[in-house]
Structure 1
Amino acid sequence: MKPIYKGLLVLVAALFAAAGVSAQNADRILGTYKAVEEGKESKVEFTRRADGSYRGQIVWLKNPDNPDGTPKLDEKNPDKSKRSVRADRVVVVDGVKYDAAKGVWNGGRVYDPTKGKSYKVEVSFEDERTLRVRGSLLGFSRSVYWTKVE
């Protein structure tokens, strides 16, 4: 084999290896996280969508029912078609993709069901088990921290 072909083969192998590492880093977000905000406790599960983006959906809420026993709903959602979604099934992070150069997931939105508002989002790890979710609007931002439980 000519040296130029060997070099090309090594380069192609390196690119495939780098792509594999990037995919592993991107999938690091997968799992379930405990979130405690303003006294409300929930668990959010991150999954990968068919288009390669990631979403975080509430899968457990400490108090999912109203005092009368009916399930709490996403009543403040600006999309009227989503107001009948149970509060323990609301998608709170959607459309984020992994940016390997920055080591963050961004490009999507974070939704605050207590206010019915959504914001640009950037998600990153503070440490092995702590996810930082930073929402921003008009130059102002706020971060919340979720702990990986599964």
Structure 2
Amino acid sequence: MIVLMAAAALAAGGAESIVGKWRAETKGAVIEIARCGSSICGKLTGSDGLRANPDMLDAKNKEPKLRGRRVMGLEMISGAFTFADGSWSGGTVYNPDDGGTYKATLTLPDNDHLKLKGCIVWPLCKTQTWTRIR
């Protein structure tokens, strides 16, 4: 019964439940997800590397002209995400570690965890679980 109530609460939050700050699995990255019109977007607000070097640049970006931009505040989740069947899909996630941009799907298995799946092309995908920061 409690599990059903938790699932109902999550469903009631629906599309808005994803808004907030999330800690990624790697390098202590913190991403703040917000509504951007009818979509969502997420900016990098901190990481282990940024604590050591707040002026860190996007040095591995595949586009040379973007390699001089700062990583702090960089939009990592962007595009035309739409919410359906409990997940956000149709947008992209950027990974400054390799300079790649990947098709992304975000789902919330519960209020405190976010599953981010990034794909070059299906089935070449990688999934991370992020934890909500309260």
Q: Fold-level match, TM-score > 0.5?
A: yes
Is the 1:26–1:98 Cα contact (8 Å) retained in structure 2? Answer: no
Distance 1:46 1:119 in 2: 17
| Preserved CA contact (<8 Å) 1:57 1:89 | yes
Say whether 1:105 aligns with 2:88: yes
Is 1:26 the counterpart of 2:15? The answer is yes
Cα pair distance change 1:71/1:33, threshold 3 Å: same
Rounded Cα–Cα distance in structure 2 between residues aligned with 1:31 and 1:112: 19
Unmatched runs of 5 consecutive residues or more in structure 2? 1-10
**What is the DSSP-based 3-state SS (H/G/I as helix, E as strand, rest coil) of the residue aligned with 1:108?**
strand
1:43 to 7, 26, 30: 30
Contact 1:65-1:71 within 8 A present in 2 as well: no
Deviation at 1:71, TM superposition (A): 1.8
- Paired with 1:108 and 1:98, the residues of 2 have a C-alpha distance of 8
Distance 1:28 1:84, change over 3 A: same
Q: What residue is the counterpart of 1:89 in the other structure? A: 73
Q: List gaps (5 residues or longer) in structure 1.
A: 1-21
Give, in whole Å, the separation in 2 of the partners of 1:121 and 1:34.
Answer: 17
Which of 124, 127, 130 lines up with 2:113 in the alignment? 130
- The equivalent residue for 2:129 is 145
Deviation at 1:138, TM superposition (A): 2.3
Identity across aligned pairs (percent)? 27
Q: Does the Cα contact within 8 Å between 1:96 and 1:105 map onto a contact in 2? A: no
Q: Is the 8 A contact 2:54 2:72 kept in 1?
A: no
Shift of the 135–145 alpha-carbon distance from structure 1 to 2, 3 Å rule, reads: same
The structure with the largest alpha-carbon Rg is 1
Q: How many residues align?
A: 123
CA drift of 1:75 comes to 1.1
- TM-score, normalising length from structure 1? 0.72
CA-atom RMSD in angstroms: 2.2
Choose between structure 1 and 2 for higher RCO, CA contacts under 8 A separated by at least 6 residues. 2
Distance 1:70 1:29, change over 3 A: closer
Go from structure 1 to structure 2 and tell me whether the alpha carbon gap of 1:149 and 1:96 turns closer, same or farther (over 3 Å shift). farther
Q: Flag the 1:94–1:78 CA change in 2: closer, same or farther, 3 A.
A: same
